[in-house]
Amino acid sequence: MHDDRTLVEARLRRVLDERIRPAVYPESVPLQVAVWHAPGEPVPVEEGLAAEPEPVEAGARWGAPWGTSWFRVTGTVPEAWAGRTVEALLDLGFDENMPGFQCEGLVYRPDGTPVKGLNPRNQWVRIGAPVAGGEEVVLHIEAASNPVILDYHPFRPTRLGDKETAGHEPQYTLARMDLAVFDEPVWQLVMDLEVLGELMAELPVDSARRHDILRAVERALDAVDLQDVNGTAGRAREQLTGVLSAPAVPSAHRISAVGHAHIDSAWLWPLRETVRKVARTTSNMTALIEDEPEFVFAMSQAQQWAWVKEHRPEVWARVKKAVAEGRFVPAGGMWVESDTNMPGSEAMARQFVHGKRFFLDEFGIENEEAWLPDTFGFAAGLPQIIRAAGAKWLLTQKISWSQTNTFPHHTFQWEGIDGTRIFTHFPPVDTYNCSMKGSELAHAASNFKDKGRARHSLAPTGWGDGGGGTTREMVAKAARLRDLEGSATVVWETPRAFFEKAEAEYPEPPVWVGELYLELHRATLTSQAKTKQGNRRSEHLLREAELWAATAAVRTGFPYPHEELDRIWKTVLLHQFHDILPGSSIAWVHREARATYERIAAELNDIITAAQRALAGEGSRHLVFNPAPHSRHGVPAAGAGAPRLPQGTEVSPRAAGGYVLGNGLLRIEIDAHGLVVSAYDLDAGRETIAPGGAANLLQLHPDFPNMWDAWDVDSFYRNTVTDLTDAESVELGEDGASVRIVRSFGASRVTQVLTLPPGERRLAIDTEVDWHETEKFLKLAFPLDLHAERYASETQFGHAYRPTHTNTSWEAAKFEACNHRFVHLEEPGWGVAVVNDSTYGHDVTRTVRTDGDRGTTTTLRVSLLRAPRFPDPETDQGVHRFRHALVPGASIADAVREGWRINLPERHLTGAHEVAPLVTVDNDAVVISAVKLADDGSGDVVVRFHEAHGGRARATLTAGFEVTDVTVTDLLERPLTDAVGQDRDGERLTVRLRPFQLMTLRLRRR
């Protein structure tokens, strides 16, 4: 038989495009359209509905960037259409290739009832099925003219990312606005042919199944009268019945389709627009649930649910109804789909506390899965937090984006730093925007790395990023793929149903230990420095506010600010979303974030001051409040008293220029260029700085990645570096005990102050950068005389180790990594730490010196600033202030302590008396991360702590108040039935912790 395969396949493509798809709407009449443009920010629905619009026609330009236009469409269903299905086709000027990334709309009835959302892949509104004929149609569209930021030529700088710079030129051209007859048999034929054509393309050319489909398609095309598609669609479908009813083979891969719309809480649009995106998507999904009895939709991010409840009560009512039916599923149990690398320990815990509590309070639903399809890698401390929140599963997709290494599993146990394991799944479909294409399903089946041991995978199905969700076309395709020969099988299921099946069939999956590092988007650890500083400062201010307010509440009856703290926590958690905290959003988002963090800081400082004033009383004694979890200068952790200050630091000129600082513990030499050429540990008799090296060295690199400017730094940036050694001045500071250095480079200027505090083993480095570079990367280098094969960097509730070598591609790919408050490097018996108050990115390299002692130089470099131009062309321009400290001779315990101290400075107050801590612990390895009153308003004191040094710890916690009961709880402050018993003697409690173990105690007060 002659091979005419390509001929038939080409025929299918053309007939579908030019004859069958156009026949879905065989008749249409235009609607009358009028528009009113809101003068500023979006207006309430009732105001938009009441506005007086002006007539407009298809072809008109509309929509200034970030504007809102209210369209009113009116018309009459022709009498001749009686008994037929009629839809309104409302095309605002969509590009079908950009769902979620351009203009969108929400359709309302005249009474304000939302109907459904409009987006490039969802332009129809059902009028009637069937209609009687003669119906009057009146619809209102709240249309958002969001500009296209990520265009066909991506990553080009644009001013459209902020309404203050975007201009006022219309962005869109109004297109088709019609009433049309919807021919369902033709639409069903389109679905049949698309499914079979896509499946056929994935089958081997020599397979019998492919040729069976080919011949059935050929017969169907023969049966279609191209001059009367609508009259012959039925007989064409008859030719496809046999190939569509052939069942899948027993070994077929099994896909759990979950309706999905990953909506970025902010990204290429501001937060206020996400509120509307969520309303549009949830309107669409509740409508689809009503039409499709098997469809299940899952939505994560409790914040987005809360927005619907607050801003769209009519939509909320529909959502609640669908949730009650089990069809609209709260997923993930987090406040937002946050970054997981940079949020601190408590913040990461509170993501689950606030997210899970919202779903429990609103629906009585307990989430057992974490749902993070798009987050940029996963910190090694996360499994313990997931488990402590009462969850046990994790889903993500993003690791498939790694550029260097292919992750070896799709279903596995992920083990964190404390040994906790979480059953984890990476969908092998490799997208969180699955559209049920044959190529996607075939890829999921062939790509699945656990074949032979497992058979199930999950496919998040629907348009996401900018929202939109699942379409009726996706549902129709899934129905045909439920049990189809040659394809993976597809069934709509909840995340819970998938995980239960996957876990049951794969009881002993492989184990991955340590962080899930994304070999991409590494620059998100540095971009938008002020957003990162705002986050770090807010986290520590919240710790202080809870600590001092709880202490004052117990001691003085101070009114604990439950509502204020709840609101502020939720705001901070929202800004940890994985395109806000990582610095990858438009300028508008980060401009608003800076203002929000300033407001939060003012509120929290007011709470802290009021609580401390209540504790200190009226008096003239000088008191120092120590919010850190370790004592400082004789002031106990979480208490206040008079400090015992050590003797001062000696400063003398250096013979070759510069200065020498000494405090009896360290001797620091700063040369004439302002570089630290010696940091000598007097007790150990040990030099910190590598021979011939200089610390406090600012280094500047060109920074123009191949793509994803704000997200990525590519390894070739290291090929070119400029050491910023020229100094305008190196002189004593005004206090006479510090050294002030000023440098200029390019259009920027750096001022540093180096201080050796009396009685402390750390060199404090305060850096102010007036930054006006573009496409540059600024690092601060510390070449250390250390032979270290690995180093520790702080993560949530502990620290993780990374190798300093590049033996394999896995190590080489980690050329930029995350730390929280410290990085620690060590030889047996002696180490060095670098601590910080607001930076996250760093790199560690090692070289062997070729002359002299041939020793090893291990260089730690802190990442300070970048200057990408997309999506914010003015990223980080302006003045920035950073605090770091070099700690020679540091153990891991020193690193932990100094990291806390630099982030929680002492506060000075005058008062009447000292303040004893509310809770104390007698072992520095056990770090208290939170002291607060219980969220339920009971007045119970909640204490959260963890083992921080990486070893076993026994400690006694002592409450400074009368305790009637102690309960071990989960993060939501619920009793744990499987908690290990603790030894208690009155207000004293002995605890025993495994390495990095997290524990929460609830102390009931008399």
Span 932-952, pLDDT tens digits: 999 999 999 999 999 999 999
List of residues 6+ apart from 694 with CB closer than 8 A: 671, 673, 675, 676, 677, 725, 783
Mean pLDDT of all residues in 857-869: 98
3 state DSSP class of 977: coil
Confidence of residue 294 (pLDDT cuts 50, 70, 90): very high
Longest C-alpha distance within the chain, in Å? 103
Confirm if 257 and 427 have CB atoms less than 8 A apart: no
Could you give phi then psi for residue 808, rounded to 5 degrees? Answer: -125, 170
Respond yes or no: is residue 430 known to be catalytic: no
- Candidates 253, 258, 318; CA nearest to 284 is 318
Token pair, residue 853, equals 């002692």
Q: Are 297 and 289 in contact (CB under 8 A)?
A: yes
Does position 981 have pLDDT exceeding 70, yes or no?
no
Can you read off the two tokens belonging to residue 347?
């913040």
Q: Give me the pLDDT at residue 1, please.
A: 65
Q: How many CB atoms sit inside 10 A of residue 506's CB?
A: 19
Q: Is 504 exposed, middle or buried (0-12, 13-18, 19+ CB in 10 A)?
A: exposed
Distant-in-sequence, close-in-space partners of 612: CB < 8 Å, separation ≥ 6: 548, 552, 625, 640, 907, 909
Instruction: Report which of 899, 1002, 896, 999 is spatially closest to residue 955, judged by C-alpha positions.
Output: 999
Q: What tens digit of pLDDT does each residue of 109-150 get? A: 999 999 999 999 999 999 999 999 999 999 999 999 999 999
What does the pLDDT read at residue 647? 86
The alpha-helical segments, DSSP class H, found in 18-161 are 45-50
pLDDT of 2 over the 90 cut: no
Mean pLDDT of 558-573: 98
Contact 102, 95 (CB under 8 A): yes
List the one residue out of 408, 412, 407, 409 whose CA is nearest residue 424: 412
Query: What tokens appear for 323 in the block?
Result: 């949730």
User: Which residue, among 223, 191, 226, has the nearest Cα to 23 in the 3D structure?
Assistant: 226
The helices-and-strands tally (H runs, E runs) of the chain is 19, 53
Question: Residue 27 phi/psi, 5° resolution?
Answer: -135, 145
- Residue 654 one-letter amino acid: R
Average pLDDT over residues 281-287: 97
User: b/e for 807-827, b at 16 or more Cβ within 10 A?
Assistant: eeeeeebbbbbbbbbbbbbbb
**How crowded is residue 201: how many other Cβ atoms within 10 Å of its Cβ?**
15
Sequence-distant (≥ 6) Cβ neighbours of residue 444 within 8 angstroms: 253, 255, 427, 428, 429, 430, 457, 459, 488
pTM score: 0.97
Residue 875: other Cβ atoms inside 10 A? 24
Print the SS3 string covering 85-102: CEEEEECCCCCCCCCCCC
pLDDT, mean of residues 962-974: 96
Burial tier of 50 (Cβ tally within 10 Å: 0-12, 13-18, 19+):
exposed
Q: Which helix (H) or strand (E) holds 903?
A: helix 892-903
- pLDDT tens-digit profile of 741-761? 999 999 999 999 999 999 999
Task: Determine the Cα–Cα distance for residues 879 and 888; give it in Å rounded to an integer.
Answer: 29
512: Cα separation from own chain's centroid: 22
Give the separation between CA 603 and CA 606, rounded to whole angstroms.
Answer: 5
- CA 965, CA 1005: separation in Å to the nearest integer? 8
Give the lowest-confidence range in 95-99, 631-635, 643-647, 901-905: 643-647
Cα dist. 664→647, 651, 891 in Å?
Answer: 9, 12, 19
**How far from 713 is each of 373, 814, 872, CA to CA, in Å?**
22, 11, 16
- Residue 979: pLDDT band with limits 50, 70, 90: low
Question: In sequence order, which residues have a C-beta less than 8 Å from that of residue 146 and are 6 or more positions away?
Answer: 65, 66, 101, 102, 103, 104, 269, 273
Question: What's at 210, amino acid-wise?
Answer: R
Radius of gyration of the chain (CA): 31
Q: What is the pLDDT of residues 150-186, one digit of tens each?
A: 999 999 999 999 999 999 999 999 999 999 999 999 9
DSSP string, 591-646: HHHHHHHHHHHHHHHHHHHHHHHHHH-S--EEEEEE-SSS-BTTBPTTEEE---PP
Q: Is 410 left (phi over 0), alpha (psi -120 to 50) or beta?
A: alpha
Which listed residue (374, 465, 579, 712) is catalytic? 374
Q: How many Å from the N-terminal Cα to the C-terminal Cα in the chain? A: 91
Structure tokens, 314? 């009519």
Residues in Cβ contact with 310 at an 8 Å cutoff, skipping those fewer than 6 apart: none
In sequence order, the 6+-apart residues with CB closer than 8 A to the CB of 241 are none
For residue 275, which amino acid is it?
V
Does the pLDDT value for residue 306 go beyond 70? yes
757-794 pLDDT, tens per residue? 999 999 999 999 999 999 999 999 999 999 999 999 99
Residue 3 has pLDDT above 90, yes or no: no
**CB-based contacts of 111: which residues, under 8 Å, 6+ apart?**
none
For 348, the token pair is 């990461």
Q: Which two structure tokens, joined as six digits, stand for 690? A: 């590598």
Residue showing tokens 């402590």: 388
CA pair distance 696, 724, nearest whole angstrom: 10
**Helix/strand/coil for 894:** helix
Structure tokens at 661: 């600082």
DSSP-based three-state secondary structure for 811? helix
Q: Is residue 929 classed as helix, strand or coil in its secondary structure? A: strand
Three-point CA angle 392, 538, 761, nearest 5°: 100
Query: What does the alpha-carbon distance between residue 388 and residue 868 come to, in Å, rounded to a whole number?
Result: 38
C-alpha dihedral (628, 629, 633, 636), degrees to nearest 10 = 110
Burial classification of residue 967, based on how many CB atoms lie within 10 Å of its CB (0-12 exposed, 13-18 middle, 19 or more buried): middle
Average pLDDT in the chain: 97
| Side-chain half-sphere exposure of 739, counting CA atoms within 13 A | 31
Write the CB contacts of 690 (distance below 8 Å, at least 6 apart in sequence): 783, 784, 785, 849, 855, 857, 858, 859
Mean pLDDT, to the nearest integer, of 959-966? 96
- φ and ψ at 680, to 5 degrees? -100, 125
What pLDDT score was predicted for residue 638? 98
With tokens 């395109």, the residue in question is: 579
